[in-house]
Amino acid sequence: MSTSSGRCLSVFRLRRPMDIFGSVSFSSSKSSTLLRGKSKSDSFHNIDDCLASFNLMLHSNPPSAIKEFSKLFSALVRMKHYATVISLSKQMEMFEISHNIYSLSILINCFCHLDHVDIGYSLIGKIFKLGFKPDIVTLTTLIHGLCREDKFGKAVDLFDDIVEKGYQPDVYTYTVIVNGLCKIGKTNIAFGILKRMVEKGCAPDLVPYNAIIDSLCKDRFVTEALDLFFKIKSKGILPDVVTYNTLIRGLCMSSRWKEAFMLLNQMLRANVTPNLITFNTLVDGLCREGKVSKAHGAVKLMMHGGLEPDVITYSSLMDGYCVHNQVDQAREIFDLMVSKGCTPTVVTYNILIHCYCKRKRIGEAMQLLDEMPCKGLMPDHFTYNSLIRGLCKAKGPWAAHKFFKDLCASGHSPDNVTYSILMDGFCNHRSVDMALDLFHEMQKNLLKPHLIIYNTLIDGMFKVGKVKDAKELLSRLPIEGLYPDVCTYNTMVNGLCKEGLLDEALEVFREMEGNGCLPNGCSYNVIIQGYLRHNDVSMAYQLIEEMVGKGFSADATTVELVVNNDLLVKKLLSCSKSSQDVKLK
């Protein structure tokens, strides 16, 4: 449980409930005797104990006083039985036992914990109607409840309202509102409230500072977060592991590795022990930057310090090796993990299976697939899609399709990605009819094809010369609620150019911008290559000028075609002499 929720849970404990209940005068009934025992122990053992006590209190003659019910409700809150408190409160009301300020405050706390803050709000009206005045703890509970429901705007409004009405927020009130503001990215306002807190003589502890440092790091203001870190240290507030972890994560996200490791050393000198989060942040960040050997070094360092890596550590390191196609090193980490008694997850297996498939080592990938159920793990869509993609590359789409059919027969439901992979495989092998069959099959299975699938099919149609079918697929996009992207247009332009339909290709190319899809460097290279292959030097030159004017460069294929075209070379040289700088690359 987080510190914030823990504090909210014990809001009445923080106000010393024995000051409230210690002087309760009990009746001479059996229930009163029982409750005197509870008062001495200051604890109900479990919910059954509470329910038995409640029934005795309710049915005693006369019924127990509201203070006794409030004590019982407070005990149930500590056990987190919020719904039970609300239910028992309703029973109590049926016996015409009136609430006091404490029982109503407990109810507000319960409704807020159950994410019914609006009902909690309505009880504030009841408190005033009964002539009571809610204290800052009750109002803070409401602010916290609003923050729990992501109603941060209302939380800030309530905070401002209670300050205006003369309430003095305490450390917890300020902390709750600062946390809430930081969660919605209102770091500047949160910082302003923190300053107001100091001005009011309410000294903040580390918690609100940690919230602001975290928010600054998430917004990539790491330098500002570090400035605040050094400022709080100068005030004598000692950073904890959360502070250091937040800053290390921020530095890693900004690729400031030297500072991240300096902060780690500073953390050790301050006798703040790094935890798994510290090292997992470093390992994951280093792996994402391609610094896998340094990440491995960080793992060795944590083990040397007596901290055992967990599944996240091992999985991050494996993924780092796999991104660089070092699947054997990833397998060594996997085996080490298992030997250390750390249980792999589905994600761990997926990392290794995906990499084996990329390297066309399908046999080893299949062995891992067979191993998963033995470990109590169920393969997911990512697992199967990796294998289908791997089979397409290693053994062709028909082998992948057989595996796909076996999966369907065993009850596995394919997703859009599964169909997309298979269709791409068949289109690359010019088996577009098979790709179309899969297209219709997925629609029968109530799966809506996405734009990538249409792009794949359009490209496949051009590969086998089915220009009309490609155009029909393009025309269907708006009907399906889809709109062509730059990849769609580039595929169309490329296909039309290869068919010698240059006028149509240019029309589609010009249509892009009109439809709000700006051509990219690839778009220009594709159409320029089309004109060069059909020896239309004049149009090619015009498009080259346009491409360079928009800041794009020729790719290797365009450069080769230009160099091999004497007419275009002469034209470019002529223009170069007249100070027309046409940059090819």
What's the CA gap between 19 and 370, in Å, rounded?
63
Residue 13 has pLDDT above 70, yes or no: no
pLDDT at 573: 63
DSSP 480: G
Taking CA atoms, 328 is separated from 25, 288, 347, 356, 364, in Å, by 74, 19, 18, 9, 11
Residue 479 has what DSSP assignment?
G
pLDDT at 3 over 60: no
In percent, how much of the chain has pLDDT > 70?
90
Please give the residue that has the higher pLDDT: either 11 or 128.
128
Alpha-carbon distance 67 to 165, whole Å? Answer: 28
- In the prediction, which pLDDT does 126 show? 86
Of 437 and 113, the structure prediction assigns the larger pLDDT to: 437
- For the entire predicted model, the pTM comes to 0.74
DSSP string, 531-554: HHHTT-HHHHHHHHHHHHHTT---
Please, are residues 97 and 128 in contact by the beta-carbon 8 Å criterion?
A: no
* Lowest pLDDT segment from 66-75, 243-252, 455-464, 516-525: 66-75
Best-predicted range by mean pLDDT (90-104, 163-177, 415-429): 415-429
The residue range of the domain holding 515 is 509-574
The encoded tokens of residue 390 equal 């791997």
DSSP letter, residue 478: G
**pLDDT of 65:** 86
Q: How far apart are CA 354 and CA 385, in angstroms?
A: 9
Please tell me which residue, 147 or 386, carries the higher pLDDT value.
Answer: 386
Over residues 188-222, the pLDDT tens digits come to 988 888 888 888 888 889 999 999 999 999 999 99
The verdict on residue 564 lying in a domain is yes
260 found inside a domain:
no
Angle between helices 311-323 and 346-358 (to 10 degrees): 10
User: Token digits for 568?
Assistant: 């275009």
The tokens describing 13, both together, are 């404990």
pLDDT digits (tens, 9 = 90+) for 482-531: 999 999 999 999 999 999 999 999 999 999 988 889 999 999 999 999 99
Q: Is the pLDDT of residue 156 over 90?
A: no
| Residues 533 and 561 sit within 8 Å (Cβ to Cβ) | yes
The answer on pLDDT for 40 being more than 60 is no
Nearest to 365 by CA among 341, 389, 333: 389
How does pLDDT run across 253-284, given as a tens digit for each residue? Answer: 999 989 999 999 999 999 999 999 999 999 99
pLDDT for the residue 448: 94
Asked if 235 and 205 touch (Cβ cutoff 8 Å), the reply is no
Residue 348 has pLDDT above 70, yes or no: yes
Whether residue 280 is contained in a domain is answered as no
Higher model confidence: residue 151 or residue 490?
490
Residue 394 has pLDDT above 50, yes or no: yes
DSSP state of 61: S
pLDDT of residue 571: 66
For residues 400-428, one letter each, b for 16 or more C-beta atoms within 10 angstroms of the residue's C-beta and e for the rest, the string is bbebbeebeeeebebbebbbbbbbbbbbb
Helix/strand/coil for 33: helix
Stated as kind and residue range, the H or E segment containing 287 is helix 276-288
Residue 199 falls inside a structural domain: no
* Long-range contacts at 409-412 (CB < 8 A, ≥ 24 apart): 412/384
Q: Is 82 part of any domain?
A: no
Q: What pLDDT is attached to residue 262?
A: 94
How many domains does the structure of the chain reveal? 1
Cβ(237)–Cβ(209) under 8 Å?
yes
Residue 536 within any structural domain of the chain: yes
Query: Is residue 161 domain-resident?
Result: no
Condensed to tens digits (0 to 9), the pLDDT of residues 171-197 reads 888 888 898 888 888 889 888 888 888
Q: Which two tokens stand for residue 264?
A: 């780690």
Q: Which of 107, 104, 129 is nearest to 116 (CA)?
A: 107
Q: What is the mean pLDDT of residues 293-299?
A: 93
Q: Which pLDDT does position 575 carry in this prediction?
A: 56
How far is Cα 92 from Cα 53, in angstroms, rounded to an integer? 13
The pLDDT assigned to 43 comes to: 58
Q: What are phi and psi of 42, to 5 degrees?
A: 55, 35
Q: Is residue 247 part of a domain?
A: no
Mean pLDDT, rounded, of the chain: 87
